[in-house]
Each structure stands twice: as C-alpha cells, then as structure tokens.
Amino acid sequence: MAKLKWGTPGLKWNQPGIHWNGDAPTKTHKMNNVVLALKDLTITELIAELRRVSQGLADNAAAFTGVDPTAAELATVADTLEGKTSTAAQRAQAAEAATLDRDNTVTAASAMLTQTATCDVVKALAPEVCALVFTLKSAPVATTSMPKVTTVTVSFGDKTTELDIMWAPIAKSRAFEIQFKTATGVWTPAKTTTRSSTTIEGLPAGVLVQIRIRVIGPNELTGEWSDPIEHLVP
C-alpha cells in the first residue's frame, strides 16, 4: 500500500493497515502564563511557596522533566532562606537585648555620678577643692548696666505721618523707649515697645525729625540714648 499523508480526509491516525510517512504529530497550545505574585508574600509565605512548588515538581517529575531550577534546588534555597531568616531574627533579638542592657547601664552610671556629686562629703568641701574634680554652678551675675542701642535704621511707613524703625536686639532687654524731636523742638516720647522694631504714628507730616532709642533692662536699668537719626516724615 502506498504511504499516506497527514490530513487525508476520513483517515484516523490509528486506523489498521495504514503506514504513515512520518512521526506522529505534536499537539500545540499556547504558552502557559504562570502567576506568582511574589511581591505580596511574606518571607514565611515565600519559603512555603518554594517548598510547595518543589514538592509539586518532584511528584510530577515525568511531566516536568528538564525544569530549571530543579525541585531539589528549590528545596535547597527554601532551607537556606529559612536558616538565614532564623539567624537574622536571633541577631535582632540579641541586638534589642544589648541595647536595653546598655540603656540600663547608662541609667545606673548616671545615678552613681549624681550620688557621688551630691553626697555630704562633697557638699562640705571648700569650693576650690571641690572644683578640682567637679564643675561648680556659677553664681548668677547681676546686671549693673545696659548697653547703648546701635544699628538704628529709619524708613517711610505705610501711611503719611508714619516712620518705621529697626535696631539691633539687646540681651536682657525688657523694653525700648523711643523719642523724637523737630529741629526747633524738644525730645518727646513717641513710643515704648518690647520688640526691636516698630512704627511711630502721628508725626508731623513733611517735617524733618530726629529719632533716638534707649534700652530698659532689669531693675529699670537704662542704657545710653542712641545717636540721633534724622529722617523726613512723609
């Protein structure tokens, strides 16, 4: 009988008495698209998934011949990951315990230093002797004078009859007293403020005036008046 070809109408591949002219046809299908979603897994879940796939490959070895990595390799990496995870957890626990122990030691050491520095023996020593070991608290320095206000700047205010004034801040200041005068007038109180800048309102419009400032400190101590600054009132 003549050889027949695949695709001949009415023929079956296992029909008796037929001799085919080649190998049996291979069934074709679409490539499998496996979904793993590994980024959503915890380390424990990843280890379980490695072992599940490894066992599945081993149980179905005939169907999965040639798979790379092999079932054994997947099982090995699962064991390795589990071991490293356990080691990391143990080290984290040890580090936490070490940190707690260090903090407890810091507390105990600070308490010992405090106890030493405040014991009756140390308190009874002459200051110059105590200062050989410990830093003594300085006695507060009384304020006996206040400095002169400097770096005064004057500029036009937002409205007519107003001038904006700024000056350098002064330590321990309680307030600043501001005065003005015209060329033919006398020094007149304009304002008292606690800040180092202010606006003076109600000045004579279109007139050249002089401005001076002095600081008021603790116990009503006052500093020297600043050098007068001359400026035109808008």
Residue 147: inside a domain: no
Q: What secondary structure does DSSP assign to 61-98, as a single string?
A: TTTTTT-SS-HHHHHHHHHHHHHHHHHHHHHHHHHHHH
Supply the pLDDT for residue 71: 92
Calpha distance 196→189 (Å, rounded): 17
- pLDDT for 138: 83
Please state, as a whole number, how many other Cβ atoms lie within 10 Å of the Cβ of residue 170: 18
17 in a domain, yes or no?
no
109 within a domain of the structure (yes/no):
yes
Pair 205, 233: CB distance under 8 Å: yes
User: How many domains would you assign to the chain?
Assistant: 2
Instruction: State residue 13's pLDDT score.
Output: 61
pLDDT for residue 3: 56
What residue ranges of the chain have pLDDT lower than 70? 1-30
Which of 81, 105, 139 is the endpoint of a domain? 139
Q: Is residue 7 part of a domain?
A: no
Range list of β-strands (E), the chain? 153-156, 163-166, 175-182, 188-193, 197-200, 208-216, 229-232
Rounded-to-integer distance, Cα 53 and Cα 47, Å: 10
The whole-angstrom separation of Cα 23 and Cα 12 is 14
For residue 182, the enclosing domain spans 153-232
Q: Minimal CA–CA distance to 149: which of 216, 102, 49, 101?
A: 216
Asked if 114 and 160 sit in the same domain, the reply is: no
Q: Assign residue 213 the CATH number of its domain.
A: 2.60.40.10
Residue 118 in tokens: 């405040």
Spatial separation of the C-alpha atoms in residues 29 and 32, rounded to whole Å: 9
Last residue of a domain, one of 87, 110, 139: 139
Tokens of 224: 């020297």
Asked if omega into 69 is within 30° of 0 (cis), the reply is: yes
Question: Are residues 225 and 174 both part of a single domain?
Answer: yes
174 and 216 in a single domain? The answer is yes
Asked, for residue 116, whether it belongs to a domain, the answer is: yes
Domain end marker among 80, 107, 139:
139
How close are the terminal C-alpha atoms of the chain, in Å?
124
Question: Is 8 among the domain residues?
Answer: no
Instruction: Let me know whether 44 and 110 are in one domain.
Output: yes
